[in-house]
Structure 1
Amino acid sequence: MTPRARCTSKPLASPLKQTLSPLKKTLLSTCLLAGTAAISSAAAQTLPVFPDSDYSDQVATVEDILGYPLASKVSTPEAIQRYYQHLAEQHPDRIRLLPYATSWEGRQLFYVVISSAENLGQLDQFESNMRQLADPRQLNDNDAESLIEQTPASIWIANSVHGNEISPAEASMATAYHLLADQSERTASLLDETLIYIDPMQNPDGRARFVSRYYATVGLNPSTDRISAEHNEPWPNGRTNHYLFDMNRDWLALTQPETRGRIDALLNSYPLIFIDSHEMGGDLPYYFSPEAHPFNPHITEPQREVLEWVGRSNAGWFDDFGYDYFTREIFDAFYPGYGASWPLYQGAISMTYEMGSARGHHFRTRDGEVLTYGDGVQQNFVAFMSSIELAAERGDELQQRFYQYRKNAIEQGSRGDVRSYVFPATRDAAGHQKLAAVLSEQGIEVQVADEGFSACGTDYQAGAYIVNAAQPTYHLIRTLLDEHVPMDEDFIEEQERLRANNLPDQIYDVTAWSLPLMFNLDVEACASAPRVASTTFSGERIAAGSVENPDAEYGYIVPWGDMNAVRFLSAAIQQGLRVRSSDLEFIHDSKARFPSGSLVLSRAGNPDDLTEVVTQLASDTGAEVTGIDSSWMRRGPNVGSANVKTMHAPNIAMAWDEPTNVLSAGSTRFVIEREGNYPVTAIRPAQLRSADLSRYQVLILPATASGDYTQAFGEQGSEHIRRWVDNGGVLITLGNATRFVVDGENPMLNSAVENKVQPEEVARINRDTAELITNDAQLNHRIQDHEAAPDWVSGVLARVNVDQEHWLTAGVPEQVHSLFVGRDIYSPLTINHGRNVAYFAGPDEVLASGYLWQENREQIAYKPLVMVQPQGRGMVISFTQEPNYRAYMDGMQVLLFNAIFRGAAHAQPTR
C-alpha cells in the first residue's frame, strides 16, 4: 500500500472535545495545499486533514483502490461504491454496507454503518431499541431510560442528493477512511459512542451524468473560468435524477424510488441527527445551521436549541481551521419536503450543509481566489467530524429529547384542537388508496373503518380512512394534512415591507403543500377521535380492482374519474382493445349512474377472451369494472351516439431540451409514464422545428426555464407546429409555455399574459407633468412601473372551479386545487374563440392554502387555469399553471389525461 502522508498536531487533552486553537493556520494551509493538487499533478495525497490523526496502513486509501488520490478526481458512482465495498469486505467488524433502493437507471443506492466492533455486532438490537423509543405508547419512562443507556447515539450523513453537488460524496469516503484508519484515542472514543450512518450518494444517476459530461469537456488542464464549458453543464444538468426530479423536494409525496427507499431505511434506524450535505454557488463559503426564518411551527423549541448546538460546534472547528462560513441567511426550515426538514417531524435533528462548489477541479471566485475540489472535500469532512463529535458528546441528551418529543406528540394529539382526520373515501378510490399508502410509508398509522360510524357531525360508511392524531408522528401528521401551516406574522410583515419597497422577498419555497388539497380529496379535521372497529392500513399504493358480473352478455363499463380508470384505459388501448368513452353522464338500464368520461367495452369488436383480459386489467390497475347485459341507457347517450368517442392510442411527443424547464419536463414525463403507464417520445426543439410530426397525435410543451419556444422554434418552426395542429394535432402547453400560443398577431390561443393591475391613482399619473410629492405614499405610487408583471408568487394552493359541461373535464369534480407559482396570469378566452374549462375562484375563495399577496389574489380571481381552443382540425389545450408540479398534484392528473386521451379522440385528423 502507498505510504500514508500525515498532518498531525500535538495531542490534545480530551479524546472527544479537542480544539485546534494552538494549531497554526499555516500548518493547515500547507497540508491542504498538498491535498488539492490538480489532476495532472503527482503531489502526494494528504487529505483528509484532521489534528492528531495517525492512519493505519491496514486500511486502504482511495488511491489504493481507485488508483488516484482522494479529491484529485471526481469519482463516478461505480468508483465510490467500489471503495465502500472494499472497506466493508476488509473490515466487516467495523463497517457494514446495506443497499436500500435501486435508481431508475439500475444503480444501487446504499448506506454504510460505521462503529466499534462491539457496537456493530449489536446493530440490529440497537436499531430495535430506537424503534421502541420511537413509540412511547409501548414503553414506560423507566424502560425508556434503560434503552437510552444501552443504545449509542446515531448520526446519518446523507450526501449529494443533487448529482452535480459533487464534494459531499467524495468527503464521505474521506470520513469513512478516517474513522476506520485513524488510530487516535479520539476516533476510538467516537466509534464507541456512536453509530455513524453514511449515505454516500443519494442520486447516483445525476452524479453519473455530471461526471460524464464534465470530463468530456476538460482539456489539457482544468479551467478556472466560470464561463468555460466544464463549468456550464448542458441540458439537463446533473442536479436531478433520471426523471429530472429535484429529490430534495420529494420527501412529502415520495414519488421517486430513491426517496422511498431512504425513508424506509430511516424508519428502521431512527437516527438522532440527520445531515443533508449539499453544494451551492462557488462564490459563497460554507453554510450550516441554524436555518433562516421562517421556521415551521411544528419544529419544537428543543429542536431549535440543538440546531444551535450543531452550528456552534461547526463554527468552533471552522474558526480553528480558518474556514469562512455563514448561517441563518438563506435556507429556511418551513417547507417540510427537504431532507433537512422531514426528519425533524420524526423527532430527530436535521439540517442542511452547503459548500461553495468548484463544479469540477478549480473555480475562480469573484474575489479572484481559486476554489478547488479538494477544498470542498476537506471542509465537508471537517463539518462531518464536528457533527459526529457532537452526537458522541451529547448522545444521552439527544436520546432523551427524541423520546420526549415522541411522547409529547402523543399527548398533544390526544388533547389538541384536531384529534383526527377522516377521509370518507366515497369519491376517488385511487387517490385515497395512494394517500393512505404515502402516509403509511412515512410511519403514520392509518385506520380503515370496518363499519359505518359518525364523527364530527357526519355519517361515514365502512371503508373510510381515519388518522388519529394521538401518535408519535403528530407533528408530521399536522404538517402534511392540515389545510394551512402558517408562517410567523412578523416574518410576513417583513415580506410585505420588502415588497412595498421593491425589494426581493425572503420566501424560499412554496408556502402550501397540504396533501389532501393536492390530491383533491375530501377530509374532515375533527376535534375528537372516532371510536369504531377498524383495521390498520397496510396496502400498496394501487389496490387490485375487480369485475362485477364478469360474464355479462354485452360487455363492461369502467366509471371515469380517478387514476385507476386512467390506468385501465392506458393499458386497454395499448393492447388494442376497442374502448369508447361518453362525453356525458349516463344512467344504465340497471339504474347504475356513470359519470361523464366512463369507458364502455363491448364484446363486439373485441377479442373472444375479453372477460379474462378485463379481469386482469382490473386487477393490475385498480379499476372497478361493471359487467352489463344490455347497452340500453335509461338516460344519457347510447353507445352509438356522437357524444361517445372511440379512444385511440395516441402517440405523444414532448419537447425535451432547452428552453424547456428540466423539472417541468421530468415531472410531466414521469406522471404520464409511471402514473399512467403510457409512453412518451422526447424530441428536441431543434427537430420539432421541421421534422415530420404526422406520426404524433399529441405534442406537449412543458414550461420553460429561460427563453421561450417562439425563439427556440423560430418563425418557420412555429408555423410548422401550427400546420400540424391545423391538420388535427393536439398541442398541450404547460405553465409559461402557454406564452408560445398567445404570441404574435395571429395567436393559436386568443388569450394574453396580463401586466400587474395598477392602483387607480398610479394609473392616472401623467409622468410628463410636474407635480408635488408630499409624502412617502405618494412617492411610492409615483415610481411604480406601469408595465410591470404581477408580483412573483412562491407557491400557494388555489381553488379552481371546473366547467361540468365540457368533454375535457369529464369525471373531474366541480372544484379542484392547483398550485399557483410565478407571475403569469392569462386573460380569459372569449366564447367565440374557445372555452375556459377551469378557472380560479373569486378573490375571497381563491386562496386555499399558503400566503398570497393581496393584489395577486384579486387579479388571479376568475382567470383561466385550463383553456381549450379549436385550431383547424386540431386544438390547443393550455394549462396556465403546472398540473404536474413535483408530481404531487395528484388531483390534477385526470384533467391532464383527459387532455391527452380525450383531446386526441375529439381531434379530427385526416385519416
Structure 2
Amino acid sequence: MNRFFNLLLFFTCFIAFSQPQSPSEFLPNYGKQVTYYHQVEAYFEQLVQNSDWIKHQKYGETTQERSLNAYYISTPDNLKNLEEIRKNHLYEIGLYPTKSNAKSKTIVWLSFNVHGNEIGAIESALSVAYELVNPNNKDTKKWLEDIVVILDPCLNPDGFSRYANWLRDVSGKKTHPGVSDREHMEPWPGGRQNHYVYDLNRDWAWQTQLETQLRMDLYHQWMPMVHADVHEMGYNEPYFFPPAAEPYHEQIAPFQRDFHKKIGEITSKKFDKEGWMYYSSERFDLFYPSYGDTYPCYNGAVGMTYEQGGIGAGRAVLLKNGEVLTLQDRIDHHTKAILTVVELANVQKDVLSKEFRAYFKDNRTKPKGKYQTYIVKNNPKIQELSVLLNRNRIESAFADETKKMSGYHYQSNKEKSFIIEPNDLIIKVDQPRSVLTQVLFEPHHKLTDSLSYDITAWSLPLAYGVESFAVKGNLPVKTKTKLNVIPTSKIANAYAYYIPWNNRSSARVLSLLHQENIKVRSARKEVYFGDLKIERGGLIVTKGDNSKVQNFEETIQNLIQEKYDYVALESGFASNGGDLGGENYPLLKAPKVLVLGGSGVSNIDFGQVWFFMDQVIEYPMSTVEIQHFNRVNLAEYNTLILPEGWYGFSENQKKNIDDFISKGGKVIAIGGAVGQFEDRPGYHLTKFATEEEKAEAQKYIEEQELLDRFLDFEGSERRSISGFIPGAIIENLIDASHPLTFGLGEKYFSLKTTDSNFKLLKGAQNVIYIPKNYQSFGFIGNKLKKSIEETVSFAVDYHGSGKVIYMIDNPLFRGFWENGNLLFSNALFLVE
C-alpha cells in the first residue's frame, strides 16, 4: 500500500512540476521590477518545455545579436499541423499554388514592445502567453481550437535591454513614485528606439532596419487576419483601444472598421467592470502606411493599436489624479485587452475568414484606387525601389517592348503623353497585395480629417526621384523578370574609370574608394567622350592620380564592381566639354566626420545620421556628445554634422565652430540645428531677406490676431493646424549646376515635416527652394501654404574658407526618402 501511495505521490509531483508556471511563479519580482530580456526568454522557454500548446521559432538576431522570437500558440493538433495550416491559409488568398488538407484557421498576430522603454507591453506578453496555454483556463483553450496565435513578445530587444538595464541600475529596494526621481528621467538616447536609434514602429513599410526586415519576412509567410500592436504612452494618459481616430484611409475596408467597433464595445465592458479609465477614437488614426496597425490593414488584416499610460513610469509613478500607477497595473490592463482580441477573433472567425479571402479577391478585380498600372522610367534608382517592392512582396516586372501611352505624370502633377521603353519598371494593381501597392504609389490620398497623427504624403516615385506615370487601365504590356544589363567590358590598360553618380551605390563606391585612399575626381559639367556622356557629379578615377596603386585596373574594378554601369576609359581626351586633366574635374577630399549627439540632440535624428553613415554608405564617423564637445580638437576633422536638436552652445563653443568653418571646415546643419547660425555675424541665415518681407509677415500676424478675437474656444485645436504641416511633399526648384543637386533630377520633391521656413537668403546660395505656385501633396495648413513660397529648403553659406550647408528639411527622414539619401551624400562628399 505504501509503495502505491509513494508512486501516486511521485506522479502527482511530476505532473505538478511539468505544468507551465505563471510569470509570478517563475519570476519572483514580476510586476514589481522590470524583467531582463534573458529572463523573458527563459520564461517562454519554460512554457515551451512544459506545454504542448506553444511552439518557438527564432526568426533572426538584432544588430546587438539578441534573438528575435515568435511563439505559436494553439492546440497541440494545430501545432503539429502548423505548416499545412500556413500553406492552406496562403492558398485561400492566392499566395500559395496548391491547397492542403488542413482546415482553415484564424491567424492572430500579437506584437509587443516595438518601443523598448514601453515595458508594460513586454511584461504583459508573459501574462498573455500564460493565460493562452494555462490548462485551467477553459476559455482560451476553446478559442484556440480554431485560432493560431503568433506572439512576438519583444520587437525591439536592443532598445528594451538598454532601458531595462538602466532601470535596474537606478532602482532601489523601495519604489519612488515621485515624478522628479531619476527612475522617471531616462537618459539620452533612451530605450525607445533600436540600436541605431530608429523608431521601428514607423518602419513597417520602409523596412530600413534589420529587425523590421526579419520580422516582415516572417509576417508575409503568414499574413495574419488580425494584428494587435501593444504600446505605452505618457503615464498620465489612461488606456487607448480601438476604434481608431479619423482619418481612416479610404482603402480601409468596412469589415476592418466593423471589427474596430466591436472590439471597442467588448473591451469597454471589461474595463467598465474593473473601473479602469480608457478612451478610443480620439487619437492614433489609420492613415500613414508604416505603422503596426495601418500596414497590416493594407495587407488585409484588422490592424489595431493598444496604448497603456506608462512611458517614464518606471516601477510606479504618482499620477496627476493622486493615484499611483504600478507596473502590475499596466500588465493587468494590457492582459485584459489583448486576451479580448483573441476572444473576439474567435467569435468573429467565420466573418474574418470570409472577408479576408474576399479582400484579396475583390481588390484585384475591383481596385478602389484611381490607377491600375504604375510605370517607373528606367533609372539606376529603381535598384533600391525594386528592393523595397520585393521586401513588401509587391510584384513588379520590366517592360520588354516600346509603347506610346498617356497617363498621370507624377513630377508635373498632370496628364502627359509618354513612351514605355524596355527596362521601364511596371507595377500593376492586379496582384495579391493590390491595396498596399496603391497606398504606396497613389499620388493623392484623401484625408477625411486633417488632424493626422503623422505624415500625410509618401508617394514612392517622388521619394525616389524617378520619373513615373500612372495609368487608369490594367495596361497590357509585354514584360520580363530581369533587367537587360550589359556587363562592363574590362580592358587591360585603362586610362581612367567613370562611375556615374546616380544612386546610393555611387555613394557607397565613393565611400570605399576614400577608405582605400584612392584619389577621386568629380565632373562639374556634362562632358562627352565619343558616345559616352559623363553626367555632372560622375566620379573619375585616373591612373595618373593613383600611380602608386598596384594592379590599377584589377584593384579599381574590384572596388567599384557594385556599380554595374561604370565605364573604363582608354583616353582622357574628350569629344567636347573638357579633358580629364582640366579644371572641370576637381579632386574630392575625403571627409573626416564628427557628428554631435547627446542631451539636446534629437535622438531619432542622430540615429538617422548614424545609420546612414554606418549602414547605407558604410563610411566612418566619430561621435561626441555635447557635454564633451569642449574636449574635441576640431582641427582633426573637416566635416561637422549637427543633427536636429536644441544645442544651446556657449559663446566660446560658437567661436570654436566659427574658427573651424573659417579655416576650411564644412558644417552640415539639419532642421533645428540651423538656428545656431540664424542672425549671427558672418552668416546669411535670416527669416526675411528684406525689411519689406518682415513687415508684410508682421502685418499678416497682426491682422489674424484681430480676427481671432471673435473665435470660440471649442474650435481652437482645429484652427491651430492652419499653421501646421505634419508631413507633406513639396516641389522644389534646383540649381542643377551646384554639386548639392547632382543626380537628383530636374526637380527635388522634399518631405517637409515642420513649419520652419526662411525666405530666399541674401549672400548665400539658395540651391534648392520652394517656388511660387508650387505643387504639393498631403496636408499643409492654409496659413502656412502661402507663406512658404520662395523659401529655401537647402542652402550653402560661405564663411571664410569654409561653409555651412543649411538643411531646413531633413533629407534622411526615417531613411526611406531615397533621393534625400543621395542629396545628403552630395553634401557629404561633393560639396567642396
Of 378, 383, 404, which residue of structure 1 is paired with 2:358?
A: 404
Pick closer, same or farther for the CA change 1:777–1:680 going to 2, 3 Å.
Answer: closer
User: For the Cα contact (< 8 Å) 1:288–1:354, is it kept in 2?
Assistant: yes
Q: Distance in 1 between matches of 2:532 and 2:56?
A: 56
User: For the Cα contact (< 8 Å) 1:584–1:810, is it kept in 2?
Assistant: no
1:756, CA displacement in angstroms?
9.1
Mean CA deviation greater in 285-294 or 445-454: 445-454
Corresponding residue for residue 365 of structure 1? 319
Amino acid at match of 1:845: Y
Do residues 481 (structure 1) and 441 (structure 2) align? yes
Pick closer, same or farther for the CA change 1:632–1:165 going to 2, 3 Å.
Answer: same
User: For the Cα contact (< 8 Å) 1:753–1:824, is it kept in 2?
Assistant: no
Amino acid at match of 1:117: P
Do residues 512 (structure 1) and 457 (structure 2) align? yes
Do residues 797 (structure 1) and 729 (structure 2) align? yes
* CA deviation map 1:294-338 (0-9, x unaligned): 101110112101111222221222223332221101111111110
Of 845, 863, 872, which residue of structure 1 is paired with 2:774?
A: 845
Q: Distance in 1 between matches of 2:812 and 2:346?
A: 43
User: For the Cα contact (< 8 Å) 1:61–1:177, is it kept in 2?
Assistant: yes
* CA deviation map 1:254-275 (0-9, x unaligned): 1111111121111111111100
Amino acid at match of 1:523: S
Q: What secondary structure is seen at the aligned counterpart in 1 of 2:726?
A: strand
Amino acid at match of 1:794: P
Q: Distance in 2 between matches of 1:467 and 1:375?
A: 48
1:742, CA displacement in angstroms?
1.4
User: For the Cα contact (< 8 Å) 1:573–1:647, is it kept in 2?
Assistant: no
Corresponding residue for residue 528 of structure 1? 473
Q: CA RMSD in A?
A: 2.7
Q: Distance in 2 between matches of 1:277 and 1:375?
A: 15
Of 264, 273, 278, which residue of structure 2 is paired with 1:325?
A: 278
User: For the Cα contact (< 8 Å) 1:287–1:355, is it kept in 2?
Assistant: yes
Amino acid at match of 1:804: A
Q: Distance in 2 between matches of 1:572 and 1:759?
A: 49
Equivalent residues in 2 for 1:763-782, closer than 5 Å: 779=710
* CA deviation map 1:224-248 (0-9, x unaligned): 0112111111111111111111111
User: For the Cα contact (< 8 Å) 1:864–1:880, is it kept in 2?
Assistant: yes
Do residues 107 (structure 1) and 36 (structure 2) align? no
1:867, CA displacement in angstroms?
0.9
Pick closer, same or farther for the CA change 1:650–1:789 going to 2, 3 Å.
Answer: farther
Do residues 59 (structure 1) and 1 (structure 2) align? no
Do residues 72 (structure 1) and 13 (structure 2) align? no
Q: What secondary structure is seen at the aligned counterpart in 1 of 2:144?
A: helix
Do residues 645 (structure 1) and 586 (structure 2) align? yes
Pick closer, same or farther for the CA change 1:689–1:748 going to 2, 3 Å.
Answer: farther
User: For the Cα contact (< 8 Å) 1:689–1:716, is it kept in 2?
Assistant: no
Of 73, 76, 87, which residue of structure 2 is paired with 1:117?
A: 76
1:340, CA displacement in angstroms?
1.1
Corresponding residue for residue 612 of structure 2? 671
Corresponding residue for residue 661 of structure 2? 725
1:64, CA displacement in angstroms?
5.3
Q: What secondary structure is seen at the aligned counterpart in 2 of 1:325?
A: coil
Corresponding residue for residue 533 of structure 2? 593
Do residues 872 (structure 1) and 804 (structure 2) align? no
Corresponding residue for residue 4 of structure 1? none
Aligned-residue sequence identity (percent) comes to: 26
User: For the Cα contact (< 8 Å) 1:690–1:720, is it kept in 2?
Assistant: no
1:165, CA displacement in angstroms?
0.5
Of 614, 618, 630, which residue of structure 1 is paired with 2:571?
A: 630
Q: Distance in 1 between matches of 2:620 and 2:258?
A: 49
Corresponding residue for residue 306 of structure 2? 353
Do residues 836 (structure 1) and 766 (structure 2) align? yes
Of 190, 197, 200, which residue of structure 2 is paired with 1:237?
A: 190
Do residues 208 (structure 1) and 145 (structure 2) align? no
Amino acid at match of 1:675: V
| Unmatched tracts of structure 1, length 5 or more | 1-53, 493-505, 768-772, 907-911
Of 802, 813, 834, which residue of structure 1 is paired with 2:745?
A: 813
Do residues 433 (structure 1) and 383 (structure 2) align? yes
Q: What secondary structure is seen at the aligned counterpart in 1 of 2:304?
A: strand
Amino acid at match of 2:32: S
Do residues 391 (structure 1) and 345 (structure 2) align? yes
Give aligned pairs, total: 796
Do residues 468 (structure 1) and 428 (structure 2) align? yes
Amino acid at match of 2:145: D
* CA deviation map 1:630-663 (0-9, x unaligned): 0011222322223322123211111111211111
Amino acid at match of 1:683: V
1:57, CA displacement in angstroms?
6.1
Mean CA deviation greater in 319-328 or 257-266: 319-328
* CA deviation map 1:195-221 (0-9, x unaligned): 111100011111111112212222341
Amino acid at match of 1:714: S
User: For the Cα contact (< 8 Å) 2:244–2:281, is it kept in 1?
Assistant: yes
Q: Distance in 2 between matches of 1:807 and 1:759?
A: 33
User: For the Cα contact (< 8 Å) 1:412–1:474, is it kept in 2?
Assistant: no
Corresponding residue for residue 12 of structure 2? none
Corresponding residue for residue 97 of structure 1? 56
Equivalent residues in 2 for 1:127-526, closer than 5 Å: 127-135=86-94, 150-357=103-310, 359-413=313-367, 417-425=370-378, 427=379, 429=380, 431-456=381-406, 457-488=417-448, 491-492=449-450, 506-526=451-471
User: For the Cα contact (< 8 Å) 2:117–2:159, is it kept in 1?
Assistant: yes
1:779, CA displacement in angstroms?
4.2
Do residues 898 (structure 1) and 826 (structure 2) align? yes
Q: Distance in 1 between matches of 2:49 and 2:704?
A: 79
Q: Distance in 1 between matches of 2:246 and 2:798?
A: 48
Pick closer, same or farther for the CA change 1:199–1:554 going to 2, 3 Å.
Answer: same
User: For the Cα contact (< 8 Å) 2:573–2:579, is it kept in 1?
Assistant: yes
Pick closer, same or farther for the CA change 1:648–1:161 going to 2, 3 Å.
Answer: same
1:777, CA displacement in angstroms?
7.2
1:568, CA displacement in angstroms?
1.1
Q: Distance in 1 between matches of 2:585 and 2:621?
A: 26
1:346, CA displacement in angstroms?
1.1
Q: Distance in 1 between matches of 2:738 and 2:162?
A: 44
User: For the Cα contact (< 8 Å) 1:652–1:679, is it kept in 2?
Assistant: yes
Amino acid at match of 1:791: G
User: For the Cα contact (< 8 Å) 2:758–2:792, is it kept in 1?
Assistant: yes
Pick closer, same or farther for the CA change 1:778–1:325 going to 2, 3 Å.
Answer: closer
Equivalent residues in 2 for 1:651-730, closer than 5 Å: 651-704=592-645, 708-709=646-647, 711=648, 713-730=649-666
User: For the Cα contact (< 8 Å) 1:454–1:530, is it kept in 2?
Assistant: no
Do residues 617 (structure 1) and 559 (structure 2) align? yes
Corresponding residue for residue 687 of structure 2? 752
Mean CA deviation greater in 257-266 or 158-167: 257-266
Q: Distance in 2 between matches of 1:317 and 1:173?
A: 20
Pick closer, same or farther for the CA change 1:374–1:63 going to 2, 3 Å.
Answer: closer
1:846, CA displacement in angstroms?
3.5
Corresponding residue for residue 3 of structure 2? none
* CA deviation map 1:444-493 (0-9, x unaligned): 111122343444353222211111111232221111001121102xx34x
TM-score w.r.t. length of structure 2 = 0.91
Corresponding residue for residue 34 of structure 1? none
Pick closer, same or farther for the CA change 1:416–1:662 going to 2, 3 Å.
Answer: closer
Pick closer, same or farther for the CA change 1:416–1:254 going to 2, 3 Å.
Answer: closer
